[in-house]
Amino acid sequence: MFNEPRVIFWPVGTGDSISIVIQDGIVLQVDLRDLNDADNSESDRIALVDKLAESLPKIDGKPYLSAFALTHPDQDHILGFEKLLERVTIGELWFTPRIFIENDQDLCDDAVAFKEEAERRIQETIKAGGDAGAGDRVRVIGYDSLLDTNEFAGFPEDRLTIPGHSVTEIDGNDYEGEFNAFIHAPFAEETEGDRNNTSLCMQVVLGDAPSQGGILLFGDIAYPRIRRIFDTTKEAGNEDFLRWKVFLAPHHCSKSAMYQKEDDAEVLKQDMLDDLASYQVEGGIIIASSVKIPSTNSSGDNPPHAKAKKRYEEVADGGFLCTHEDGESGEPLVFQADNGVLAAPDVTEAVSATATSKLASAVDEARGSDSPPSEQVGYGC
């Protein structure tokens, strides 16, 4: 599973769990959702912690995960962390300072566990004055101003990454040329407010040329944040870091990525879609990490949303995939990396040559038939 450079999107229902393999055995896990359904063999959700424990390389008898990145501490992104922590050694932890603002009662158990572990490692890092060693390392994604706070007094600068910069180091090792993560968000002012908006957003490239396109992970953000990321990046001239071969639909294919409520009406933000389309490299694929997307949604039933899927279908050259619709049931969507170029999994169905046009039959149905009634109809006075 983890022997070659690849990106794996696990089928975890409507939630995110992405494993990025940089080299044989070197894995960056972004978010986690383990639903404990291992006993239910019919479930198409993966018992991720078991899987990870199984597949990761063993160091000192225990499975070793090089790094774990948390985009934001929502339950569908952290479920099962406590179990993971027990069974697996995690080399490095990536997170934003958001977790420290939360009160424990607002967080789920696994999030609390994460928070405690994060706090512990920060102390270790401050104590070590730099690299705290495998199992204790952290990378904090945030702003300079963080260093002025109490919690981070004495925190070494090199363990802090400011959005707008790239990271090539994982778990103490530099993988420049094979791994580059450019951090797009969160923005400085947004460590408060809606948790989703503070998601860690990044472009991960398994090679040395961001312009070749990598995977864009935008957490659970919505249109305003997406717009801001695009504008800021353009202004800074960093558009290469927006090039994507794979785009993970924010917030599990929510329509809030491109629809905004304005004056009681839901307005489509075409600009976001146009820009997104312009940043894809050839054969770009958009992925929804979610359950099967319905053909229509009832009110409030979002994510995943049918309209969002349709909008994404208008954008992605290479098509739209859903973790619970495409590929085999219970199996992840895997993108092999070859010299920095990501190859799509072979899941698309061929178009049948004889597929009758839906449009044509729709027209015929709407137009109506001119045959006389085929059933008796009674009249009278």
Partner 1 sequence: MVAEYLSWGQQLALDQLTDIASASDDAIEIVRTELPSSEGGLLVLRLSIETSGYQFQIGGFKFRRREPIILKIPSKFPLQPPSANFGHKRFLGRAHVQWGNHLCLYQATDVEWSASDGMFGFIKRLDQWLRDAARNQLDPNDAPLHPPVEYPSSDTKFAVDINTPELANGAFFWVGAAKLTTRNKYCYDISEWSEMPEQLPKDERFAAVVLINQPMPMEYPSTTSELLNVLQDRGISFSFLFSILKLLALCQKDGEPLYFILGAPMRRRAADEPLRQHLTAWKMDSEHVKALRTIVLSDSGEVTEEAWNLILDWATKTPTEWCRVYDNRPEVTYRRDQETNASWFLEKRVVLLGCGALGSHMGEYLVRAGVKKLSLVDNSTVNPGILVRQQFRHYQVGYSKQSGLAVQLGSINPKVEIDHKYADLTKGWPDPLCLQEFDLVIDATASRRVASALQHDWDALESTPPILRGSINGNATQGISTLKMPRSGFGPSDLIRQTKLAAFHTQELNDFARAFWPLEQHKPGFQPEPGCSEPTFLGSAADVAFFASSFFNFSAYMLQRENDDVAKALFVSACNPPDQMFSRIIDLGKSDTNNDVSHDYRVLVSPAARRAIEGEIKTNARTGSSTDETGGLLLGEIDDALKTISIDVATGPPLDSIKSSDHFLCGVEGTEEQCKFYAEKSGNSTNFVGVWHTHPVSMPEPSSVDLEAMAQLLHCQEKTPRHVVMLIVGFAATRPLWRFHLFRKNQFQVIHIEKGIASNDN
Binding interface with partner 1 (CB under 8 A): 268, 270, 274, 277, 295-296, 306-307, 310-311, 313-317, 319-320, 351-353, 355-363, 365-367
The number of residues making up the chain comes to 381
SS3 of 248, please?
strand
From residue 94, alpha-carbon distances to 28, 81, 89, 112, 189 in Å are 10, 14, 14, 15, 20
Q: Which is nearer to partner 1, 67 or 216 (CB)?
A: 216
Farthest CA pair distance, the chain: 97
- Cβ 349 to partner 1 shortest distance, Å: 9
Residue 4 or 313: the one with the smaller Cβ distance to partner 1 is: 313
Our CB check for partner 1 shows the closer of 357 and 371 to be: 357
Comparison of 64 and 312: residue with beta carbon closer to partner 1: 312
Nearer to partner 1, 3 or 270 (CB): 270
Q: Report helix angle 270-279 to 223-236, nearest 10.
A: 50
Please state, in angstroms and rounded to a whole number, the distance separating the CA atoms of residues 86 and 31. Answer: 16
CB of 313 to partner 1, least distance (A): 4
Beta strand 166-167 pairing with 265-268: unpaired
- Determine contact, residues 49/73, Cβ cutoff 8 Å: no
**Shortest approach of partner 1 to residue 195 CB, angstroms?**
30
| Closer to partner 1 by Cβ: residue 235 or 349 | 349
DSSP 98: H
Residue type, 267: V
Spatial CA neighbour of 292 closest among 268, 257, 321: 321
Task: Answer whether 316's CB lies under 8 Å from 283's CB.
Answer: no
For the bound state, the minimum distance from the C-beta of residue 360 to partner 1, rounded and expressed in Å, comes to: 5
Q: Choose between 355 and 381: whose C-beta lies nearer to partner 1.
A: 355
Query: In angstroms, what is the minimal distance from the CB of 248 to partner 1?
Result: 17
Cβ(21)–Cβ(4) below 8 Å? yes
| CB nearer partner 1, residue 144 or residue 317 | 317
Q: How far is the CB of 213 from partner 1 (least distance, A)?
A: 17
Report the residue number, 2 or 320, with the smaller CB distance to partner 1.
Answer: 320
| Cα–Cα distances in angstroms (integers) from residue 76 to residues 16, 67, 95, 174, in the given order | 7, 19, 16, 30
CA distance 2 to 250: 25
Q: CB of 359: closest distance to partner 1 in angstroms?
A: 4
Decide: 148 and 160 in contact? Cβ < 8 Å. no
Minimum Å gap between C-beta 55 and partner 1 is 32
Beta bridge partners of residue 93, listed in sequence order: 68, 138
b/e sequence 330-365, b meaning 16+ C-beta within 10 Å: ebbbbbebeebbbebbeeeeeeeeeeeeeeeeeeee
Least spacing, CB of residue 100 vs partner 1, in Å: 42
- Residue among 2, 1, 11, 6 nearest 321 (CA): 11
3-state class (DSSP) for residue 240: helix
Residue 289 CB, shortest distance to partner 1, in Å, is 18
Q: Which is nearer to partner 1, 298 or 357 (CB)?
A: 357
